[in-house]
Amino acid sequence: MRLTIGATPIPTNIILAPLSGCSDLAFRLIARECGAKLCFFEMVDAHSLLGPHPKKFNILRTVPQDTPIAAQLVGEDPGIMLEAAQILLAHVPVVLLDINSACPVKKVVKKRAGAALLKDPQTLSQIISTLASSLPIPVTVKLRIGYSQVDIPALRDLVKACEASGAAALFVHGRTRDQGYAGDINYQALHAVKSAVTIPVVGSGNIFSGPLAKQMLDQTGCDGVLVARGAFGNPWIFEEIEAYLRDGTLPPERSLRQIHTVLKRHLAYIAQYKTASPAGKIGFMRKVVLWYLKGFPHASKLRGQINRITDYEALLVFLDEHLLQEAQE
């Protein structure tokens, strides 16, 4: 299923979320090879794009095959958000720009940004209207269903205000800020959001499989789903959701050989594109390997061995020994 956000056609309603510290270029390329048709850059701090910081564009690194691409800014000041957005658009062609009012992380909330904007709807509306009236692309908003609790009438008022201020779509996580990523998804609250506005609403939270994606769509009426942690070590989730929504097809279990092939390609992309020190790069590779091996036999035992590897080539040898050999047995 396709979406139209503003006047922009979107080729899918299954979207890779902006994932801080995770959805870098390597992650997105692998996701696209496995069915993702629209990806977000990692969340970008608006303040980081202002000033002469030599590495400020590292987070926006991309290649021609990494399209279409969307971006998300986090910040608390309408003027700074607009300036950052203009800098971003001059650097990379994105199809839409999202305003983050959902991030629950303390260091973000302390700056009155992210989920803190849920408690300051006036500032959120000012940010939306400032960007929507000044930028040539659709402006969207990522939010949660509440800060510390769910108040359906207040939530309806908030999302109506977002639409009235110029938001072209909403990405809504079905938990409060205080819940973080724990607890059940509140489908009733997401349904209330969808019924309160006329713009597209994309549901977020616990999208770990095709059946869970369908449950989100069926119980909320949302127009699409935002895939986040469900893509960690499972880039196939995009084609799996698409197949399940199309005809109820459930995928066969991935073979060790398939996992080995895609994981090594993911690591090769990290080696090629990740802008980090050698130690930082291998540390990130270890994290990625552990994503793929979650649920793998003896994963806890392997974790300790993986965390002691300090060299890319040694990591590849380790994977050959523990994945390929076991696949051949």
> Which residue ranges make up the annotated binding site?
72, 142, 173, 228-229
* Strands in the chain per DSSP E: 3-5, 8-10, 14-16, 39-40, 44-45, 69-74, 97-101, 139-144, 170-173, 201-204, 224-227
What residues form the annotated binding site for FMN? 72, 142, 173, 228-229
**Using CA atoms, how far apart are residues 37 and 239, in angstroms rounded to an integer?**
10
**Using CA atoms, how far apart are residues 329 and 327, in angstroms rounded to an integer?**
6
Dihedral (CA of 6, 12, 13, 16) sign: negative
Beta strand pairing status for 69-74 and 44-45? parallel
**Using CA atoms, how far apart are residues 194 and 264, in angstroms rounded to an integer?**
40
Beta bridge partners of 101: 143
C-beta atoms surrounding 67 within 10 Å? 15
CA 117 to chain centre: 19
- The answer to whether 3 and 224 have CB atoms below 8 angstroms apart is yes
Query: What are the catalytic residues?
Result: 103
Tally DSSP H helices, then E strands, for the chain: 13, 11
**Residue 248 burial (C-beta neighbours within 10 Å; 0-12, 13-18, 19+):** exposed
CA 103 to chain centre: 11
